[in-house]
């Protein structure tokens, strides 16, 4: 592979000598692009000797070959290690003030950054925002690790070890452990209309399903996310991912149809959406008015159980995963076990909901029930962390390591 290694001005640059060496030893064609500032730490001669390729820092060298564009265009992979707070800010802003900046704008290859800085700088809201922006654009952020820093202090900010950066970067190119897998995920809460302006709905934010879709895409899967009503901004990162497609729906019936289509070619089906169990028996064509007389009841009819239907119709080798939102009480797990059997799914992820937990909340606590009702995974944390644990359980159930 043609690999570019950007080296920016931090003391961790010395570790990148080993990183370049590892890549060269594995047979890759490695081109180092140091920033001027980084040359105070490691000189040009070292990079040329280790990479076995000429090294320059300037857009004005080799102008005839338009070096700042050709390097970026030729790259199969770009690694920036160490990535200083300044470099992350420049990348987020799209600055092209040196050869590394222009190259990063010219490339369509996967970009991996290994941040290195003091803890205070890493935790500064500006850095947090810049890292979030880069992640949304698909940049893979490796580390930083938690440990002793150069100033004698300790905390998150240490550049990850070169072996870890190389492993993560090569996995990013090969597409990750779920590469080739087709995944269908549903999320959000359905809205069942009563008249043109009113509906029966629920409090689902769609966040957990969006995190599941995003995590699968980042692990290499091709993802269809069928989204009923979700909170603002929840789908942004999924929409930005090149391996994810979003289909927006409103009612349970529409969600069922869209999931049916997506499931027809999916290897894994995950139903996270909060689907209304009932819809209005009849939907008024015009707005219901008070002058029509008092509305004392609304006649409801049951919706199909989409998950049970998908499980019954599953393709050979397909894994079907359901979610169950249960309010906490003594037999939460027992009820979840019965629900898994009743719906005929491979895995049931049970999460506790209440007035201030589960729906809409930032974090989640889940248990994953597998064959014979065994608890195969448990996780508590952010919805992103829970999504990771659920995919670990799905991958384990499919024998993916
Ligand atoms: N689900 C579905 N179709 C429905 C209702 C629910 O596909 N009409 C799916 C949800 O997406 C979720 C799972 O079924 O994956 C669990 O839903 P839940 O409402 O908890 O299950 P119910 O069978 O409705 O049980 P309960 O009576 O406890 O609400």
- 2-174 topology per CATH: Rossmann fold (3.40.50)
Question: pTM of the entire structure?
Answer: 0.65
351 is catalytic: no
| Residue 139, number of CB atoms within 10 A of its CB | 21
For residue 384, how far is its CA from the centre of ligand 1 (angstroms)? 22
pLDDT in single tens digits along all 401 residues of the chain? 899 999 999 999 999 999 999 999 999 999 999 999 999 999 999 999 999 999 988 766 665 555 667 888 888 899 999 999 999 999 999 999 999 999 999 988 889 999 999 999 999 999 999 999 998 888 988 889 887 777 777 788 999 999 989 988 887 777 778 988 999 999 999 999 999 999 999 999 999 999 999 999 888 898 999 999 999 999 988 886 767 889 999 999 999 999 999 999 999 999 999 999 999 999 999 999 999 989 999 999 999 999 999 999 999 999 999 999 888 776 888 999 999 999 999 999 998 876 556 666 667 889 999 999 999 999 988 898 899 999 999 999 999 87
Tell me the domain boundaries of the chain: 2-174, 182-397
Best mutation site among 274, 275, 351, 369 for ligand 1 pocket (most ligand atoms within 8 Å of CB): 275
Q: Point out the ligand 1 atom lying closest to the alpha carbon of residue 310.
A: 7
Among 53, 202, 351, 364, the active-site one is 202
Ligand 1 pocket at CB < 6 A: 252, 271, 273, 275, 277, 303, 305-307, 322-325
CA distance 154 to 327: 41
> Taking Cα atoms as reference points, which of 139, 143, 82 lies closest to residue 111?
139
Domains 2-174 and 182-397 share a fold: yes
Domain 182-397 -> CATH class: alpha beta
């Amino acid at each position: 592979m043609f690999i570019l290694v950007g080296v920016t001005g931090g003391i961790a640059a010395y570790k990148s000598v080993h990183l370049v060496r590892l890549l060269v030893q594995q047979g890759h064609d490695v081109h180092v692009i140091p920033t001027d500032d980084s040359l105070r730490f490691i000189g040009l001669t070292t990079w040329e000797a280790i990479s076995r390729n000429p090294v320059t820092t300037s857009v004005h060298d080799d102008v005839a070959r338009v070096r700042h564009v050709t390097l970026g265009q030729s790259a199969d992979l770009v690694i920036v290690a160490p990535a200083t707070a300044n470099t992350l800010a420049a990348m987020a802003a799209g600055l092209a003030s040196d050869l590394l900046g222009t190259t990063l704008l010219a490339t369509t290859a996967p970009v991996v950054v290994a941040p290195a800085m003091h803890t205070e700088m890493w935790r500064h809201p500006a850095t947090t925002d810049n890292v979030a922006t880069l992640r949304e654009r698909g940049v893979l952020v490796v580390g930083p690790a938690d440990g002793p820093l150069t100033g004698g202090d300790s905390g998150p900010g240490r550049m990850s070890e070169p072996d870890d950066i190389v492993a993560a970067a090569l996995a990013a190119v090969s597409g990750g452990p779920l590469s080739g897998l087709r995944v269908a995920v549903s999320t959000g809460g359905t809205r069942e209309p009563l008249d043109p302006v009113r509906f029966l709905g629920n409090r689902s934010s769609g966040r957990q399903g969006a995190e599941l879709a995003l995590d699968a895409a980042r692990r290499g899967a091709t993802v269809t996310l069928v989204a009923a009503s979700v909170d603002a901004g929840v789908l942004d990162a999924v929409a930005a991912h090149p391996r994810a497609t979003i289909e927006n729906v409103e009612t349970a019936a529409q969600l069922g149809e869209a999931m049916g289509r997506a499931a027809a070619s999916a290897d894994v089906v995950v139903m996270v959406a909060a689907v209304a169990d009932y819809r209005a028996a009849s939907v008024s064509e015009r707005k219901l008015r008070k002058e029509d007389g008092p509305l004392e009841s609304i006649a409801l009819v049951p919706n199909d159980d989409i998950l049970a239907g998908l499980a019954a119709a599953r393709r050979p080798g397909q894994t079907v995963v359901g979610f169950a939102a249960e309010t906490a009480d003594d037999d939460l797990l027992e009820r979840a076990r019965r629900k898994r059997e009743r719906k005929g799914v491979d895995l049931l992820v049970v999460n506790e909901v209440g007035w201030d937990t589960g729906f809409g909340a930032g974090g989640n606590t889940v248990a994953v029930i597998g064959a014979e009702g065994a608890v195969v995974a448990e996780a508590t944390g952010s919805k992103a962390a829970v999504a990771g644990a659920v995919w670990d359980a799905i991958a384990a159930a499919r024998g993916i390591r």
